[in-house]
Structure 1
Amino acid sequence: MAKPNKKGPTKTVDIYCAGCQAMLFKYRKGGKGALVKCFKERISRDFTTLPCVCPQCEAVFARDTLVRGTPAFKIIGGKVRMK
């Protein structure tokens, strides 16, 4: 499979914790579908202190994985909101 485009899209979305509404990421997302994974190279601003853990309520919202050979966070369904 092809790797994701390094430059990626220019449109950024804000990713929030679904439980406490804390800001997690500013992410350059392509397309208009649901947020399933976040490629680490597309995260423009990271507000978390530990990877995949909300800084406020300390809930785990994703899993660290490789997608198509690129490091990414696989989002657990219903744990984050996107605006």
Structure 2
Amino acid sequence: MAKPNKKAPTATVDVYCSQCKTQLYTYRKGGKGSLVKCFKERISKDFTNTPGVCPGCEQSFARDTLIRGTPAFKMIGGKVFCK
């Protein structure tokens, strides 16, 4: 299967927790769709203490996984939103 694009997108989005509205990441997202996965190499700023856990409400919002051979976070539906 194909790897993610080598040239990362320049447009960034801020990823927030749906429950407590705490900022989790600044992420270089490609495309117009919803945020389903976050490739670790595309995270610009990480505001979390523990990977996949919100620092504000201690809720788990993502699972650590490999997608197409690249380390990524698979988002749990409805736990995060992006602006």
Range into which the TM-score falls when normalised by the shorter chain: over 0.9
**What is the CA RMSD across the aligned residues, in angstroms?**
0.6
1:58 equivalent to 2:58? Answer yes
Moved >2 Å (runs of 4+): none
- Which residues of 2 match residues 38-57 of structure 1 at below 5 A? 38-57=38-57
Distance 2:41 2:5 in 1: 10
- CA-CA distance at 1:47 after TM superposition: 0.1
1:79: which partner in 2? 79
- CA-CA distance at 1:52 after TM superposition: 0.1
> TM-score, normalised on structure 2?
0.98
State how many pairs are aligned: 83
1:3: which partner in 2? 3
Distance 1:17 1:6 in 2: 28
> TM-score, normalised on structure 1?
0.98
State percent identity of aligned pairs. Answer: 73
- CA-CA distance at 1:2 after TM superposition: 1.1
> Where does structure 1 lack aligned partners over 5 or more consecutive residues?
none
Distance 2:22 2:6 in 1: 27
**Cα deviations across residues 39-82 of structure 1 (Å, max 9, x unaligned)?**
00000000000000000100000000000000000000000011
1:27: which partner in 2? 27
